[in-house]
Amino acid sequence: MTRSEELVRRRAPRRVALGWAFFERQTNLWKRYWAWELVWILYGLVNTLAITFIAKQAEHGGLVRPAAVPRLTLFLLIGTLTWAYLSAVLDDMSLVITWERWEGTIEHTFMTPVSRTVHLVGMSVFGVVHAVVRTAVIMACALPFFDVRFAQVNWLEVALVVAVGSVSLVGLGILTGILPMLYPERGVQMSFMVQALVLLVSGVYYGVDVLPGWLQAASHLSPATFMLRGLRAAMLGGASLGGQLRTLAILAVFGLVMVPGSLVVFSAAERWAKRTGRLKRQG
């Protein structure tokens, strides 16, 4: 063994510890920016209330039968909370590059001996945990405003759909995170556009079957469509076991394709950024 091989072997870092570095860093940042977290929770809560109150208006205006109001309330609540969760994951992942550019740390982080897979997995795990906590707080604050019944909810199915669906969301998040690397000045806005398209085609506040045909076709490209389908089936009742298994299988395929695929695309984008000199601080 040569001296350099010995040096590298002795310093070969452990992957879990390396992934933990990113989780811990994001937690420290989250603590330091707690006021911003409050702002986002308040924004999410207001958004949840504003949309779910439409169910009360529908009852008040005689648009739906009183018996259907709790179901409509839960339908809208599932949409708003899923969107709060989904946008929290996507936001955290789209900040992988943007935040580091803003702080000026991108070069120091990208020259550490952490593989990009471990880096992104560490960020993803934080993103999912962060999104779960934020969504749970919004849900806890929103529920007292509405008469929601959970007797029919299959919580095991909810947990399964969220767990499997989150993997594909991470893949989508990594893909949106690439945009700020390729386009230092416009990338963030472009990732917001991706989020807006996901919001439109995934049937967050309505079923996708109300969309025009071409948008219904586009809805099949969004993992959020199937996550929402699985969650509504688990929480509103009436889901067949076969239907739920099919939804879970589709979400699993999304995850299996999107996570490795997004990692490959991220690596290619990083290589391109290194060729063009874009992998540096901004401002």
- Selected from 53, 64, 70, 110, the binder of other proteins by CB under 8 A is 110
**How many angstroms separate the CA atoms of 99 and 104, rounded?**
8
Angle subtended at Cα 241 by Cα 237 and Cα 247, rounded to the nearest 5 degrees: 90
- Selected from 38, 43, 105, 193, the binder of other proteins by CB under 8 A is 105
Taking the least distance from each CB to other proteins, the nearer of 99 and 205 is 99
237 near other proteins, rule: CB under 8 A: no
Angle subtended at Cα 278 by Cα 105 and Cα 8, rounded to the nearest 5 degrees: 60
| Least Å from the CB of residue 15 to other proteins | 9
- Selected from 40, 183, 192, 205, the binder of other proteins by CB under 8 A is 183
Site map for other proteins, 241-280, x if CB under 8 A? ------------------------------x--xxxxxxx
From residue 185, give the alpha-carbon distance in Å to each of 67, 92, 182, 274: 51, 18, 9, 17
- Selected from 65, 108, 149, 220, the binder of other proteins by CB under 8 A is 108
At 185, list the tokens. 């000045």
Q: Please report, as a single letter, which amino acid is at residue 175.
A: L
- Selected from 43, 57, 112, 217, the binder of other proteins by CB under 8 A is 112
**How many angstroms separate the CA atoms of 255 and 227, rounded?**
12
24 near other proteins, rule: CB under 8 A: yes
**How many angstroms separate the CA atoms of 173 and 85, rounded?**
12
| Least Å from the CB of residue 72 to other proteins | 42
